[in-house]
A and B are shown apart, each in its own frame.
Chain A
């Protein structure tokens, strides 16, 4: 049995990927989680200049999920490449999440990462606010999605993953635009825009007021998007959203995903990665599958 996953030209030893935002620069959990269980871990989004992020509180515990409003805090590409990247030594691939307020920002970040030996791929976070379009995210429409992906493609030969926002209305057009512009794969999807209000203070609970919902409530929505896109796009899909168990991950694979990302569950269970991999192996054994491809997309009937 092999858990090897191919996501376009990206070869992973495991279909499980650590989602951006949860794993810092990739090595923060190295002494408490066996990162060799992962095909790759994705960094926090790195932008052209340092970003200080949103005021606290930055996370709300809803019980069934969390809303975060970190505000893409990061030290910027110069610091990341100059002071941090070379020290990241993990037993799985490292994927860097790339973000920006303008197309030029994305280009700058991608160009600084080109040719770096320990970067396996770039995940392009197109949920960043497009400053020139009044802060609406690049991924909201096919044109700005294509523009970002094309710009990043022009700077690097690394595999490119376009991470789509969870917007059912035009997601097929956005996905097709990303593919046509040179994305090698899609990550589907991202946190859902959300808010929580304290009824005593009568104010939003988050310092940044609104945030993104993650955890199990996101799963059926994101799984639907993977299912919908798998039937229409040519490039591979990485499923992400609310995966807590091997069963959740298997659902994404049955819906057509070639790999999957886990995120918020790491706040709950540090043994989730090993439980998920073990459960996946048991499932494959029980079903008589020897590769992920043997059952990928089986629900697409």
Chain B
């Protein structure tokens, strides 16, 4: 079920550098959200650009309130950062595909970069109790961009931090830590999930593929309608043609994507 409604801003706080956490009152929609799904949001001010903007869902209380984490990168997100409690936004959702926990999987290795981290945290919170363990590997350029909201502290989740400049956790890329983290992990009962920049996802997909592990990735592509009608958000499909991130995704089996075409390599 998809909903389209006027959402009320409940909270909107800066949590790090240019990252914000926004709480939205969305009514019924909150009860239907799963990790990986997104909302398509539009501000009601005249300054808002033409298109809505997609944001993955970070949390839901199941009773009317959801949260998103966003980074201010342009005009739309700058307008959002000025929102105050009580402001009204136009929200469609939940849209797209969710991460799935396949039967038999008891261990998940989750890899997140930048604003790709929040939906993985949602996954951890939803599924931590259902499986033996989740290893969360998160990375960013520097400590100030490493956005892991405090509510992440969930029992059974081991978090490893990576920063390119070494200001927090291990120095290096989050993908540097993936291969060691997958040592001794069995392909029958473990799976990799990832959300982050395209280059990071391509590397995660490559490593998981080499080790024969199942891997789901949540992608981002410039989007317009959000419902699979306009076909703007094309993602190259393995074997030819395109998927559409809004409807076929944003979560895909990593082997279904043609990474060479998509990363231009």
Contact = CB atoms under 8 A, between A and B. Distances in A.
A264 interface: yes
Interface in B150-206: none
B235 A56 contact: yes
B50 A61 contact: yes
B228 A32 contact: no
Q: State the main secondary structure of chain A at its contact with B.
A: loop
Nearest to B228: A28
A100 interface: no
A29 B229 contact: yes
B228 A24 contact: yes
A265 to B, nearest CB: 10
Given A52-B241, A66-B224, A58 B50 contact: no
A60 to B, nearest CB: 8
Interface stretch (A83-91, A187-195, A229-237, A266-274): A266-274
Contact of B230 (A63, A215, A267): A267
Contacts of A44: 231
Interface in A229-248: none
Interface string A185-204: 00000000000000000000
Nearest to B76: A61
Contacts of B261: 55
B102 to A, nearest CB: 28
Contacts of B231: 24, 44, 53, 58, 70, 73
Interface in A245-300: 264, 266-270
B4 interface: yes
A58 B233 contact: yes
A66 B49 CA distance: 10
Contacts of B2: 31-32
Given A56-B221, A73-B242, A267-B225, A21 B50 contact: no
A56 B227 contact: no
Contacts of B228: 24, 28
B71 interface: no
In this complex, the interface size class of chain B, counting residues with CB under 8 Å from chain A, is 20 to 34
Given A52-B240, A56-B221, A58-B222, A63 B229 contact: no
Contacts of B225: 22, 28, 266-267
A70 B233 contact: no
A73 B4 contact: no
Interface string B65-107: 0000000000100000000000000101000000000000000
B166 to A, nearest CB: 28
Q: Which of B2, B230, B242 has the most CB of A within 10 A?
A: B230
A27 B227 CA distance: 10
A53 B234 contact: yes
Contacts of B90: 269-270
A59 B261 CA distance: 18
Contacts of A224: none
For the complex of A and B, 10 pairs with smallest distance between CB atoms: A24-B229, A28-B229, A59-B232, A56-B234, A57-B222, A52-B241, A58-B232, A61-B51, A63-B49, A32-B4
13 contacts: A24-B229, A24-B231, A28-B227, A29-B227, A32-B227, A50-B241, A56-B236, A57-B222, A63-B75, A68-B232, A267-B224, A267-B225, A270-B90
Interface of A: 21-24, 28-29, 31-32, 44, 50, 52-66, 68, 70, 73, 207, 215, 264, 266-270
